[in-house]
Structure 1
Amino acid sequence: MLVEKLLLNVLIILLPIFIHGVLFDNKSVGKSPYLCGILQSLALFLSLAFSYELGGLYWDLRYVPLVVAFLYGGPIAGGMVLFTYLATRTFMGGDLLLGYASGFLAALFPFLFMKSFWTFDAKKRVRTAVIVGFWPSLSMLIILITNTFLSNAAASEDSNKVLMNITIFGVIQIFSVWVAAFLNEALIEKDLMKKEILRAEKLNTLGELAASIAHEIRNPLTVVKGFLQMMHKQEKGDNFYYLSLVLTELGRAESIINDYLNFAKPQFEKLEDAELAEIITEVTILLEAFAAKEGVQVNVKLEWGVFAKADRNQLKQALVNIIKNAIEATEEGGEVFVSQASAGPESYVIVSDTGKGMDQEQLARLGTLFYTTKDKGTGLGTSVSMKIIEAMGGSIAFKSDLGVGTEATIILPTYNKDAAGADPLQGNEAM
């Protein structure tokens, strides 16, 4: 009977996840902690309603919604579920002191892990939820022993049966937390995938539009530039200066147009074995004067002998954009760190700064065409860099905190091969 009731409780625990996935998947209210609190409170209430009384205690999975609400819904959702538990437990009567104590003990660990929970990846979040979900089983055991001791009822209960019930309860409790966490992560992954698909569709549409416009503009611009160059060779005096200025601005316009074309579809002239450490060294040397002008120190840590199939010029352009952005975001006297290391078939290039950082809204829009946090800029640099890296089979991710700085992690498929001799630049460097 206990097993049947607990399995019914498992279905009740999964009910809020299915309701959320079916009814609120594409709605903004689906992100509300209040909705999470209401759904998990409903699950907790039903779990208590279908609990199994044994040994003067109610056996159910009331604590699973509490764990899920705190970890996935935050303090508001968790507080709502805890309040629902206390109110329902009061209505049920019985030993209220032990009932209240068990509720607060069960909420303790989820509350403590709540903030750090979202710093983990999906797999670690599931493991953390299972570990945290074990705590209510432990608190149940503590309360059972306490209740037995206080009532002096140890002799009237079969100790083996009690132990078996606790074991069954603990296994089903942990299993239900694992299933709930796993399904929640599946919903989160599905939501992220939808957002990524929508983002890709928007960027592709914008990219094609920008490329078609840029292509049409570049043709007459090339003709204008050719005639201006001919005039520039023949002119002297003030006109020579003005023509030089016009040609410089035309060059800048051409550079922006090329960025638009690159964004639409990066063109790789030649894929070759490129050593990442060598390319990063060349890029940091190129930006040395710019960093000195901005009063920013660039620290470099490299791992030599790691190669990638890449277009050297395009990869250099992507790294220049990322590192230059980091330098521009850093105030005078600050530092930018560039590190590169390999792990299996992948290599990580991490660019971090000590700048002003970004909030979550800015971070979410980073890489969107025409979006920039700089006073001057088109927002193309980061977008083009992301396109180039993705076209090479890599990926790029950003982390940022206001007042702390931003970190860009570039992951590229790489391989190791024996380098010919030791490189004199190997190790730590600083500009």
Structure 2
Amino acid sequence: MLAEKLMLHILIVLVPVLIYSVFFENRRMVTSPYFSGILYGAASFLCMIFSYYEYGLYWDLRYVPMVLAMLYGGPGAGLIAFGFILAARTYLGGDALWFGYLSASLSLIVPFLFSKRFRKYKPKKRVQLSIIISFWPTLIQLSILLAYLLASTMETGNELFIYVFILGFLQVLAIGVSSKVLEAGIERKMMKQEMIRTEKLTTIGELAASIAHEVRNPLTVVKGFLQLMGKNHKNDEQYMHLIMSELGRAESILTDYLNFAKPKLKQIEEFQLSELIKEVVQLLHPLAAKRGVRLSHQLKPGLYIETDRSQLKQALVNLQKNAIEATPAGGSVRVHLYSKNMSAFTVITDTGKGMNANQLSKIGTVFYTTKDDGTGLGTTVSIRIIETMKGRVAYKSEVGLGTEVTMILPLKYIKSK
């Protein structure tokens, strides 16, 4: 009966361990010694409430949560758990009440001494140390038990020593399993942080290389034309036009990077979305005609939104330009605007080469592009701008059939004619 009861206590001990290491590992609350102390203290309290009473003593795993709180949560958490144990022991009462107080106080000493430097050890060493420390409460309990039996006239048999062995074994087992689970959670969190750090460093490196490459190209052209201007003054006006064009391209590249880093909605205004889309379609008609692509639109009027017009125009230009460039000569690009549930849906459909599932999953990723040239920032910037406007962008595509891009934005109001 004792073994079955103590197995239940192991499950009670594992509940806060699992909560601590899995469900709340990313929350600040978990790093608080108060939260840890209350969590483990509640486990100790429940172990004592559902303890096994025999030989005038309460048999339970109350000290396992206290040791875990002291080692992994710090002295503050351990003392809170200790307070829960004293409260539970007072509530239970009994002839051995003062022996219970003494046992809890002495069991606290060794974990408390190791609590401050415990986290400095390596994970494997911490597991081993926690198991070794768990022998201390067992030794204290055995000593208190012998002292209590000597002070009383109670008759004992071999069964009592079997109880002591079972209690000590399961107490060490509970500490060992709990420590392994906690260390696994700590290791997972550290690996996650390292992955994030590595990803940031990689992104910074790629960003620096991409900026250097993209900005260097127009600057090289500018340098070449300035050298020609120094030798030949006849074509200065022509060279100056090309220089300004390349400098404008360099400025555009840097603007894209800045918008990617932190899109800003500078000038908020209310306007009709269909009118803006018409402007973009007219702007891109020459590009579509040059590539032999038919560009058409079907727009619902009276849909008004409130946001930064120029930023949204930039996003629409990027999305429609991508559709045109992905479509071979003889194909078509269609822009359709409609409303649903106070949201404006702008659907850009092309009859281009399409994308497979792997390519589709990478859309919007920094530096990813299906085109032979470009940085891949255009799409990413467009998505970031629309998300800043509390909207979203969805992609659907099939290889050989084309791609459908849906931009969804919240409407200010609808004005019917």
Distance 1:214-1:178 versus aligned 2 partners, 3 A rule? same
Distance 1:222-1:121 versus aligned 2 partners, 3 A rule? farther
* Superposition map of 1:177-192 within 5 A: 177-192=175-190
Distance 1:127-1:225 versus aligned 2 partners, 3 A rule? farther
Given that 2:40 and 2:65 are in contact with CA atoms closer than 8 Å, whether structure 1 keeps it comes out as yes
Per the TM alignment, residue 24 of structure 1 is displaced from its structure 2 partner at its CA by 1.4
Per the TM alignment, residue 26 of structure 1 is displaced from its structure 2 partner at its CA by 2.3
In 2, the alpha carbon distance for the partners of 1:180 and 1:225 equals 67
Aligned residue for 1:61, secondary structure, equals coil
Give the aligned partner of residue 101 of structure 2: 100
* Post-superposition CA distance 1:253-308 (Å, at most 9, x none): xxxxxxxxxxxxxxxxxxxxxxxxxxxxxxxxxxxxxxxxxxxxxxxxxxxxxxxx
Tell me the TM-score normalized by structure 1.
0.50
Structure 2 counterpart of 1:69, one-letter code? A
Give the aligned partner of residue 77 of structure 2: 77
Per the TM alignment, residue 140 of structure 1 is displaced from its structure 2 partner at its CA by 0.6
Give the aligned partner of residue 54 of structure 2: 54
Per the TM alignment, residue 25 of structure 1 is displaced from its structure 2 partner at its CA by 2.6
Aligned residue for 2:26, secondary structure, equals coil
Give the aligned partner of residue 156 of structure 2: 157
**Which structure has the bigger radius of gyration?**
2
Structure 1 counterpart of 2:59, one-letter code? W
* Post-superposition CA distance 1:314-372 (Å, at most 9, x none): xxxxxxxxxxxxxxxxxxxxxxxxxxxxxxxxxxxxxxxxxxxxxxxxxxxxxxxxxxx
Aligned residue for 1:173, secondary structure, equals helix
Give the aligned partner of residue 127 of structure 2: 126
Aligned residue for 1:58, secondary structure, equals strand
C-alpha root-mean-square deviation of aligned residues, in Å? 2.3
Give the aligned partner of residue 142 of structure 2: 141
* Superposition map of 1:21-420 within 5 A: 21-94=21-94, 95-153=96-154, 156-158=155-157, 160-216=158-214
Give the aligned partner of residue 3 of structure 2: 3
In 2, the alpha carbon distance for the partners of 1:21 and 1:170 equals 25
In 2, the alpha carbon distance for the partners of 1:114 and 1:205 equals 39
Give the aligned partner of residue 397 of structure 2: none
Work out the percentage of aligned pairs sharing the same amino acid: 50
Aligned residue for 1:53, secondary structure, equals strand
* Post-superposition CA distance 1:83-113 (Å, at most 9, x none): 1111111111122211111111111111001
Give the aligned partner of residue 421 of structure 1: none
Distance 1:104-1:220 versus aligned 2 partners, 3 A rule? same
Given that 2:41 and 2:84 are in contact with CA atoms closer than 8 Å, whether structure 1 keeps it comes out as yes
In 1, the alpha carbon distance for the partners of 2:174 and 2:30 equals 22
Aligned residue for 1:152, secondary structure, equals coil
In 1, the alpha carbon distance for the partners of 2:31 and 2:163 equals 37
Given that 2:37 and 2:73 are in contact with CA atoms closer than 8 Å, whether structure 1 keeps it comes out as yes
Structure 2 counterpart of 1:36, one-letter code? S
Structure 2 counterpart of 1:152, one-letter code? T
In 1, the alpha carbon distance for the partners of 2:177 and 2:191 equals 21
Give the aligned partner of residue 18 of structure 1: 18
Structure 2 counterpart of 1:194, one-letter code? K
In 2, the alpha carbon distance for the partners of 1:178 and 1:57 equals 25
In 2, the alpha carbon distance for the partners of 1:112 and 1:126 equals 16
Given that 2:21 and 2:181 are in contact with CA atoms closer than 8 Å, whether structure 1 keeps it comes out as no
In 1, the alpha carbon distance for the partners of 2:194 and 2:151 equals 57
* Post-superposition CA distance 1:184-233 (Å, at most 9, x none): 0011011111111222222222221111113345568889999xxxxxxx
Structure 2 counterpart of 1:151, one-letter code? S
In 2, the alpha carbon distance for the partners of 1:164 and 1:15 equals 27
In 1, the alpha carbon distance for the partners of 2:222 and 2:70 equals 64
Tell me the TM-score normalized by structure 2.
0.51
Give the aligned partner of residue 229 of structure 1: none
Structure 2 counterpart of 1:162, one-letter code? L
Given that 2:22 and 2:185 are in contact with CA atoms closer than 8 Å, whether structure 1 keeps it comes out as no
In 1, the alpha carbon distance for the partners of 2:209 and 2:22 equals 39
Structure 2 counterpart of 1:167, one-letter code? F
Structure 2 counterpart of 1:114, one-letter code? S
* Post-superposition CA distance 1:2-24 (Å, at most 9, x none): 00111010000001022234531
Structure 1 counterpart of 2:150, one-letter code? F
In 2, the alpha carbon distance for the partners of 1:17 and 1:98 equals 28
Aligned residue for 1:185, secondary structure, equals helix
Aligned residue for 1:118, secondary structure, equals helix
In 1, the alpha carbon distance for the partners of 2:113 and 2:65 equals 16
In 2, the alpha carbon distance for the partners of 1:65 and 1:92 equals 19
In 2, the alpha carbon distance for the partners of 1:4 and 1:44 equals 17
In 2, the alpha carbon distance for the partners of 1:225 and 1:182 equals 63
Structure 2 counterpart of 1:78, one-letter code? G
Q: How many residues align?
A: 226
In 2, the alpha carbon distance for the partners of 1:100 and 1:60 equals 15
